[in-house]
Amino acid sequence: MDLSIIIPAKNEMFLQNTIDDILKHREAETEIIVVLDGYWPDVGIPDNERVKLLHFTKSVGQRAGTNYGVSLSRAKYVMKLDAHCAFDQGFDRVLLEGIAGHDDWTMVPLMRNLHAFDWVCPKGHIRYQGPSGVCKECGEPTERVMRWIGKESPKSTSFCFDAEPHFQYFREYAKRPEGKGDITPTMSLQGSCFMMTRDKYWELGICDENFGSWGSQGIEVACKTWLSGGQVMCNKKTWYAHMFRTQGGDFGFPYEIHGRDQEAAKKHAKKLFLNNRTDNFPKQIHPVSWLLERFWPVQGWTQQQLDTLKGVISVKKGIVFFTDNQLKLKIAHAVQSQLKNIGIPIVSASLKPMPHFGKNIHVKLPRGYLAYFTQILEALKASDADIIYMCEHDVLYHPSHFTFIPPTKDKFYYNQNFWRVRASDGFCAHWDANQVSGLVAYRDLLIDWYQKRLDDIKANGFKEHSFEPGKSGDLTVAFKSEWPNVDIRHGKNLTGEKWSMDDFRDKSTGKGFTTAWEVPGWGSFKGIFV
């Protein structure tokens, strides 16, 4: 047997539908172990050699029931599953192929919402699944009509938890380069379905009954996997659909859920994982701050909360954004949306009012070098941050860029992990260079440099074609973020184009020059900004 699917069930009216669906769509050597937790279903369980039953006359709880079910398994892999789910054809085969060779992984399929049934009255009015009752349109009694369809939208592939901790959908991560692909990491998971080796299940103490019967299961499984050195992965090649019941009445949770029990589960999760120590969970080798930084920024967490966890002195980060307002709206909106999602305060300097984008400084000057340096200086003065990330209006910034903190206050730090992308056709080029778009430094240092540079331009004009602070001497330091930023070249850039070594007057400045049709981690930009 390859896979045992463990289904803890209590007062579940859709248990037979779930079992039938698994049997219909399985393609591997898969068995189902049903734990009837203190009840016997009105509708019989299918008589099938692949279905095993474990019956408790008195409820033991969801976690304990799952543990009893796993103890009956002899398969290499086990999956915990809620009793109201549907599956894609061959889901088990695809998951087994994806996890093969990765015994420290926990895997989940892409999650859809399950449209299990509708309420239909004699006149044909249809009401989407929910509590029973008469037809809202005509007052006639209604009858449940089964549908059992995995809805096309939403498709959930990434999850996290906040500082409480509460489960969160992490849709923003799915838009990042590292969130794209067939099998991608997810910080947490939704507890209705997860799969791992049976040995790893017992080794990590999954379904720890100290959490109580129910609550914080996705956080427990994800933290135990990640913090012990494993990974939680979403396999988007297949899916399962889960029925969510949040409307109460006779369409509520089959397991009784009390607020005090949920609070107790959260409290236990905090004790095990959120103190940033590695001595409460025996298999833990990473603190939770490590997990947060791996997925940073994480919704529901502030930089201050992360710094507090790490016990470091917090420094305030800020973004200085500058634009001439002549950019194609398709590019401008993409860049601004990406920056807003970073979660760092923004001071924007523009030649037209932009009240919607951070704290806006409107500089009433014509486009040119004087306006450029004035914008930056005024924005720097308006910020109250300690560290500034200089952001240009035509660069897509990856979140990993903003995890860098300058180790000293007297140098200018340049992120050399960037690719230039030609908007017209998506052609890409990279070389190691210091660009203002990748500049990170302490605000006081930047203000001093830009004030002197602006004073010089006003007195002598723009004679020295230098945009980068600290360009001469030993005041600059290069670094490279985990993932690149994308510099979009659209024909109205203030600096020149370089698409081959022939475009470099000084060939020594083209160190590491290379070209491609895709940006690492981002993919192809062909046709995106046309």
Walk me through the domains of the chain, giving residue ranges and CATH numbers.
3-295 (3.90.550.10), 317-516 (3.90.550)
Q: How far is C-alpha 291 from the geometric centre of its chain's CA atoms?
A: 12
Q: Please check the confidence at residue 302 and state whether its pLDDT lies above 90.
A: no
User: DSSP string of 284-327?
Assistant: --S-HHHHHHHH-S-TT--HHHHHHHHT-----EEEEEEE-S-S
Of the candidates 198, 223, 353, the one whose C-alpha atom is nearest the C-alpha of residue 283 is: 223
Question: Tokens standing for 335?
Answer: 């860049």
- In the predicted model, is pLDDT for residue 251 greater than 90? no
Q: Quote the pLDDT of residue 259.
A: 61
What are the pLDDT digits (tens) for 84-133? 999 999 999 999 999 999 999 999 999 999 999 999 999 999 999 999 99
Residue-wise pLDDT tens digits, 355-410 = 999 999 999 999 989 999 999 999 999 999 999 999 999 999 999 999 898 989 99
- Cα dihedral 487→490→495→497 (10° resolution): 90
CA proximity to 167, closest of 113, 214, 233, 230: 214
Lookup: tokens for 355: 């009240």
Residue-wise pLDDT for 153-170, tens only, equals: 999 999 999 988 999 999
Helix, strand, or coil (residue 341): coil
CB 159 within 8 A of CB 187: yes
Query: pLDDT tens across 315-336, in order?
Result: 899 999 999 998 999 999 999 9
Longest dimension (CA), the chain: 91
DSSP secondary structure letter of residue 44:
P
pLDDT (mean) for 334-340: 94
Short-list 246, 271, 238, 253, CA closest to 22: 238
Tell me if 339 sits within 8 A of 313, measured CB to CB: no
HEC letters along 244-260? CCCCECCECCCCCCCHH
Determine which of 159-163, 187-191, 279-283, 482-486 has the lowest per-residue pLDDT on average. Answer: 279-283
**Where does 163-280 have alpha helices with state H?**
171-175, 198-204, 217-227, 259-273
pLDDT at 273 > cutoff 70: yes
Output the pLDDT for position 294. Answer: 94
Q: What's the mean per-residue pLDDT of the chain?
A: 91
Q: Is the pLDDT of residue 74 over 90?
A: yes
| Cα separation values, 254 from 210, 248, 257, Å | 21, 11, 9
CB atoms under 10 Å from CB of 496, counted, come to 8
3-state secondary structure of 242: strand
Identify the pLDDT of residue 510.
83
DSSP notation for 144-179: EEEEEEE-SS--B--EEE-SS--EEE-HHHHHSGGG
Q: Is 88 helix (H, G, I), strand (E, B) or coil?
A: coil
Q: Quick one: which of 372, 369, 326, 317 has its CA closest to 349?
A: 372
Rounded to the nearest 10°, the torsion over CA 170, 171, 172, 175 is: 130
In the structure encoding, which two tokens stand for residue 305, read together? Answer: 């909360």
Tell me, what DSSP letter sits at residue 439?
Answer: E
Place of tokens 């109250």: 384
Torsion, CA 484, CA 489, CA 495, CA 497, rounded to 10:
100
Share of the chain above pLDDT 90, in %: 72
| Dihedral sign, Cα of residue 207, residue 210, residue 212, residue 218 | negative
Q: How far apart are CA 384 and CA 278, in angstroms?
A: 36
Kindly tell me if the per-residue pLDDT of 353 is higher than 90. Answer: yes
Residues 6+ apart with CB under 8 A from 394: 327, 331, 332, 335, 487, 488, 489, 490, 493
